């Protein structure tokens, strides 16, 4: 049986013409849509490298960064991306303002819409909050998910894809491993959908059983619990951040034991293919999920990821506004 | 008031009566089925041609939201919804504010319900004070005030010892204990079935073992204490299998399922449809199929509406924050008919799951047709399609996963004690 009126079941990111209306998740987006974002980002790389780092594509547009959950890095990269497109940017840390006064999420959105917002960049602790907003706003307003609960973080996944393509070229020949707390990770979910859509033949997840969600293999990944097996023949390693609170609710005994079995050290990295690259969405816990020698080593592409992130977010914003 | 109901297909699931005939009502009672009594002059005739005349429906789980939650729904609105759905007897759960744990509150609710002169209301009293799972309520007093059973609504009992004592005490007086099997710690924070959809959407999950572990405790303690147990709103295939075994061993256990759960699965959550945020969670397709089969083979005795009106603002929130629940009183009949049609089950057998069987579980005089019995009737058109939309619903809530869908089976008349309390 299918849900009501199709509104809850059709892909809410694409409009009737199949164009991108919102970016909420990488799930369900066709490969050409993802590749178009990567190609457009490629064209913005020139902008980010020249002296005058601005193009007028979003001149006169207002971008509201709606952060219901604290974030410095992601919010800053969205802000820089919007400003390089000449948009006006308003940053709102809602956690500290209206929500604490009892205003509902959609009330907040309505009020900001009345200030003629053209785009909302939303981060929220609850999975699905950006979907709710996207269903609610007027059709001329675009919503970008900047991370919702454990659900999705599509721009992070897209910048990861951009990074992989820059260093490895062809998705169709790669073996990729995602290592760490898959259960709580919105980044991992978005990476898995993007990788499988772009034709990566083998995506692996490597984690202890307490950090894997039920039936994760249905997302199209192979499950490993041990680094030695999981890293064999791997071209790309995508590390995930481990939150300290995982120790509190008995999912892990200690960061030390986690590091010993799942932390990426030069020895473990040597188990992968010789030219393998290492990604991390940041911020890193050195000595927990990754050793400094790897993070700062020759196979790490963690800092380029941050640079590419700006071009990718510029691409998403310009595509959404049709410029 | 004398009523003559003409040419309806009269079905009494309990006795097996099924045929086109007339029903005669006087002074609130059924005085004849078939031929007219001599000298019968009706005040009103109802033409029931092509309609089904059956006992008024009996619902084991309706939240009327009074006292305490009148912004979600009122007794008035939900009692109208009940009879609009053909429900003439219903049991309401104790999770009101204040909780139904004192005789005075029960008497007041019974009085308020009686004065509305619609469906009969049979409160389930709180098993523990404030549903906190610490101290027992005065069950005997509450029973005298009108409670037909004792339960915890959606609150789990925090430990096995309290559950054991509650069952022993209830068994002392022969009071049934109604429990929804769910282990509190395993379900803590979860909002969806621990399966593919929760994984995809990143929703905190409730594993099946949250149900089966609690179920195992309940079954073992029922054996130990001899308490009569009713299991509310079972949700999983494994749970159905456990109940089947327990029943085959002759334990005094009955079981119901919510109407939504025999049709929907986790897949219906789609992109975070908060109307599918239900308690217990919608589980996998295999679970749904086992619920449907368990209902057919009698492992599950009854279908309940699990009626829970929620105000719109409380649903316009991210999935996990949205208040769980769906309305059901007005969908109980069509969703039962839908199950029967899909499983190719004859109408009388289907109707027994919402009439005779739940009445037996409630232990009340309802759910059947007999001479001299109360004229609580549901008269419905089994073939009429209608669209589930706010204008067609009497409940104050419009929260249902079926919103916008067409369902077959529409209640035309509802009679309570021979009075026409609803006419479509």
**Could you report the per-residue pLDDT of B11-25, keeping only the tens digit for each?**
999 999 999 999 999
User: Residue A268 corresponds to which tokens in the numbers above?
Assistant: 């473990």
Q: Which residues of A touch B401 (CB under 8 A)?
A: 3-4
Rg (CA), chain A: 19
Question: Is B389:B355 a contact under the CB 8 Å cutoff?
Answer: no
CATH number at residue B314: 3.20.20.140
Domain count, chain B: 2
Bridge partner list, A90: A64
> Does the pLDDT at position B110 exceed 50?
yes
Q: What is the pLDDT of residue A9?
A: 53
State the nearest Cα–Cα gap between B81 and chain A, in angstroms. Answer: 22
Which residues in A lie closer than 8 A to residue B313 (C-beta atoms)? 104
B219 inside domain: yes
Query: B422, B255, B421: which is closest to B353 by C-alpha?
Result: B255
Residues B21 and B66 in one domain: no
Contacts of B405 in chain A (CB under 8 A): 4
- Neighbour-count burial for B118-134, b at 16+ CB within 10 Å, e otherwise: bbbbbbbbbbbeebebe
**Residue A4 pLDDT greater than 80, yes or no:** no
B345 assigned to some structural domain: yes
Domain contains B397: no
| B79 and B44 assigned to the same domain | no
Q: Is a pLDDT exceeding 90 seen at residue A247?
A: no
Separation between Cα atoms, residue B357 and residue B235, nearest integer Å: 19
Provide the 3-class DSSP secondary structure of residue B256. strand
* H or E stretch at A55: none
Rounded to whole angstroms, how far apart are CA atoms B380 and B413?
7
Q: What is the mean pLDDT of chain A?
A: 92
Average pLDDT over residues A18-31: 95
| Residues of chain B contacting A, Cβ within 8 Å | 194-196, 198-205, 207, 263-265, 268-273, 275-276, 313, 316-321, 401-405
Same domain, B221 and B142: yes
Q: What is the mean pLDDT of chain B?
A: 96
Put simply, the chain A residues between 187 and 246 with a CB less than 8 A from any chain B CB are 189, 213-216, 218-219
Active site residue B313: no
Q: Pick the catalytic residue from B306, B365, B381, B383.
A: B306
Could you report how far apart the first and last alpha carbons of chain A are, in Å?
40
Return the pLDDT at A2.
41
Q: Do residue A214 and residue B198 have CB atoms under 8 angstroms apart? A: yes
Higher pLDDT, residue B343 or B70: B343
pLDDT digits (tens, 9 = 90+) for A180-189: 999 999 999 9
Q: Residue B255 and residue B247: Cα distance in Å, rounded? A: 10
Sign of the torsion angle spanned by Cα atoms A105, A110, A111, A115: positive
pLDDT for A46 beyond 90: no
Torsion angle of C-alpha atoms A236, A287, A251, A158, degrees rounded to 10: -30
The pTM of the full predicted model, rounded to 2 decimals, is 0.94
Asked if residue B213 lies in contact with residue B239, where contact means CB atoms within 8 angstroms, the answer is no
Distance CA(B378)–CA(B55), nearest Å, equals: 6
DSSP state of B324: P
Residues B312 and B412 in one domain: no
Res. A3 pLDDT band, cuts 50 70 90: very low
Residues B162 and B46 occupy one common structural domain:
no
Q: State both tokens at A112.
A: 């900001």
CA of B333: how far to CAs of A3, B227, B359, B411, in Å? 20, 31, 16, 8
Q: For A122-157, what is each residue's pLDDT tens digit?
A: 999 999 999 999 999 999 999 999 999 999 999 999
Question: Which residues on A lie below 8 Å from B320 (Cβ)?
Answer: 126-128, 149
Contacting residues of A for B202, CB less than 8 Å apart: 127, 148-152, 186, 189
Which of A3, A11, A103, A207 to substitute to test the interface with B, most B CBs within 10 Å? A3
B275 and A4 within 8 Å at the Cβ level: the answer is yes
pLDDT at A8 over 70: no
A181, A258 Cβ separation under 8 angstroms: no
Q: Return the residue of A nearest to B403 by Cα.
A: A4
Kindly state whether residue B149 falls inside one of the protein's structural domains.
Answer: yes
pLDDT tens-digit series, residues A84-116: 999 999 998 887 555 556 678 899 899 999 999
Q: How far off is chain B from A94, nearest CA to CA, in Å?
A: 16
- Do B206 and B87 belong together in one domain? yes
pLDDT average, residue stretch A171-175: 98
CB A129 to CB B202 under 8 A? no
CA A317/CA A168 separation, integer angstroms: 26
Measured in degrees and rounded to the nearest 5, phi and psi for residue A165 equal -65, -35
Q: Is residue A48's pLDDT more than 80?
A: no
Other residues' Cβ atoms within 10 Å of the Cβ of residue A226: 11
Domain CATH for B8: 2.30.40.10
Is the domain of B35 the same as that of B82? no
Work out whether strand B177-179 and strand B149-151 pair parallel, antiparallel, or are unpaired. parallel
B190 pLDDT band, cuts 50/70/90, is very high
Residue B97 lies in a domain: yes
Q: Are residues B26 and B62 in the same domain?
A: no
pLDDT at A322 over 80: yes
User: Is B35 found in the same domain as B95?
Assistant: no
Whether omega for the bond prior to residue B98 falls within 30 degrees of 0, making it cis, is yes
Asked whether the ipTM of the predicted complex exceeds the cut of 0.85, the reply is yes
Q: Are residues B137 and B204 in the same domain?
A: yes
In a domain, B401, yes or no: no
Are B7 and B119 contained in the same domain? no
DSSP for A113-135, please give it.
HTTT-SEEEEEESSTTHHHHHHH
* Residue ranges making up the domain that contains B296: 56-362
The span from the CA of B367 to the CA of B8, in Å, is: 18
Q: For residues A128 and B318, what is the distance between their CA atoms, to the nearest angstrom?
A: 6
Q: Nearest chain A Cα to B206, which residue? A: A214
Average pLDDT of span A52-78:
91
- How many pairs of residues across A and B have Cβ atoms under 8 Å apart? 98
Say if residue B110 is in the same domain as residue B129: yes
Domain for residue B390, yes or no?
no
Nearest CA in chain A to B260: A1
- Taking the C-alpha atoms of residue A263 and residue A269, their distance in angstroms, rounded to an integer, is 10
> What is the pLDDT averaged over residues A47-54?
79
Residue B218 domain flag: yes
pLDDT at B374 over 90: yes
**Which residues have CB under 8 Å from B62's CB, separation 6+?**
B78, B82, B87, B90, B91, B92, B93, B305, B307, B328, B329
| Distance set, CA B386 to CA B197, B334, B402, B408, B411 (Å) | 30, 10, 12, 6, 11
pLDDT value, residue A99: 59
Q: What average pLDDT does this structure show over B354-358?
A: 98
The pLDDT tens digits of the residues spanning B115-174 come to 998 999 999 999 999 999 999 999 999 999 999 999 999 999 988 999 999 999 999 999
Q: Do A148 and B403 touch (CB under 8 A)?
A: no
């Amino acid at each position: 049986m299918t849900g009501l009126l199709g509104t809850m079941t059709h892909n809410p990111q694409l409009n009737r013409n199949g164009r991108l209306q919102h970016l909420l998740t990488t799930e369900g987006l066709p490969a050409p849509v993802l590749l178009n974002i990567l190609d457009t980002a490629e064209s913005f790389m020139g902008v980010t490298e020249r002296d005058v780092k601005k193009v007028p594509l979003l001149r006169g547009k207002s971008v509201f960064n709606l952060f219901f959950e604290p974030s410095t890095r992601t919010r800053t990269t969205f802000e820089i991306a919007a400003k390089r497109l000449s948009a006006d940017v308003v940053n709102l840390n809602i956690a500290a303002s209206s929500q604490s006064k009892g205003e509902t999420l959609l009330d907040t959105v309505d009020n900001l819409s009345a200030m003629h917002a053209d785009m909302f960049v939303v981060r929220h602790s609850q999975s699905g909050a950006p979907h709710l907003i996207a269903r609610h706003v007027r059709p001329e307003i675009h919503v970008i998910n900047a991370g919702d609960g454990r659900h999705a973080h599509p721009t992070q996944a897209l910048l990861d894809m951009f990074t992989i393509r820059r260093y490895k070229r062809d998705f169709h020949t790669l073996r990729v491993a995602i290592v760490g707390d898959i259960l709580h990770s919105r980044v991992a979910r978005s990476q898995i959908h993007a990788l499988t859509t772009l034709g990566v033949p083998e995506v692996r997840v490597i984690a202890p059983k307490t950090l894997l969600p039920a039936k994760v293999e249905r997302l199209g990944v192979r499950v490993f619990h041990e680094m030695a097996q999981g890293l064999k023949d791997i071209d790309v390693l995508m590390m995930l951040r481990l939150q300290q609170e995982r120790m509190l609710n008995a999912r892990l005994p200690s960061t030390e034991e986690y590091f010993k079995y799942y932390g990426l050290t030069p020895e473990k990295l040597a188990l992968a293919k010789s030219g393998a690259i290492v990604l991390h969405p940041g911020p890193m816990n050195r000595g927990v999920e990754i050793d400094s020698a790897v993070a700062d080593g020759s196979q790490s592409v963690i800092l380029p990821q941050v640079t590419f992130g700006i071009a990718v977010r510029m691409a998403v914003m310009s595509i959404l506004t049709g410029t | 008031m004398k009523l003559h109901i003409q040419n309806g297909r009269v079905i009494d699931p309990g006795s097996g009566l099924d045929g086109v005939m007339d029903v005669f009502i006087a002074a609130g009672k059924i005085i004849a089925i078939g031929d007219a009594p001599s000298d019968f002059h009706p005040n009103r005739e109802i033409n029931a041609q092509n309609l089904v005349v059956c006992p008024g429906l009996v619902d084991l789980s309706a939240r009327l939201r009074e006292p305490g939650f009148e912004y979600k729904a009122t007794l008035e609105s939900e009692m109208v919804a009940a009879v609009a759905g053909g429900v003439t007897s219903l049991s309401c759960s104790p999770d009101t504010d204040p909780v139904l744990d004192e005789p005075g509150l029960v008497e007041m609710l019974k009085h308020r319900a009686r004065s509305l002169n619609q469906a009969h209301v049979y409160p389930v009293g709180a098993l523990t004070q404030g549903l906190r799972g610490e101290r027992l309520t005065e069950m005997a007093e509450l029973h005298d005030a009108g409670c037909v059973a004792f339960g915890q609504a959606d609150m789990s009992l925090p430990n096995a010892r309290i559950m054991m004592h509650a069952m022993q005490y209830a068994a002392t007086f022969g009071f049934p204990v109604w429990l929804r099997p769910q282990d509190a710690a395993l379900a803590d924070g979860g909002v969806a079935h621990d399966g593919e959809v929760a994984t995809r959407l990143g929703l905190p999950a409730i594993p099946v073992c949250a149900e089966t572990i609690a179920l195992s405790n309940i079954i073992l303690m029922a054996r130990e204490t001899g308490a009569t147990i009713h299991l509310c709103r079972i949700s999983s295939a494994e749970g159905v299998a456990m109940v089947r075994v327990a029943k085959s061993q002759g334990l005094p256990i009955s079981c119901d399922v919510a109407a939504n759960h025999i049709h929907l699965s986790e897949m219906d959550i789609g992109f975070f449809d908060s109307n599918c945020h239900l308690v217990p969670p919608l589980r996998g397709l295999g679970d749904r199929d086992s619920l449907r089969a368990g209902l057919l083979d009698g492992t599950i005795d009854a279908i309940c509406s699990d009626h829970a009106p929620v105000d719109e603002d409380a649903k316009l929130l991210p999935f996990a924050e949205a208040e769980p629940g769906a309305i059901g009183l007005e969908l109980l009949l069509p969703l039962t008919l839908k199950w029967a049609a899909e499983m190719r089950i004859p109408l009388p057998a289907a109707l027994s799951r919402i009439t005779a069987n739940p009445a037996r579980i409630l232990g009340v005089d309802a759910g059947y047709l007999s001479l001299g019995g109360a004229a609580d009737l549901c008269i419905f058109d089994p073939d009429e399609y209608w669209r589930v939309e706010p204008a067609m619903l009497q409940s104050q809530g419009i929260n249902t996963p079926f919103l916008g869908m067409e369902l077959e089976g529409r209640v035309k008349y509802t009679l309570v004690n021979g009075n026409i309390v609803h006419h479509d």
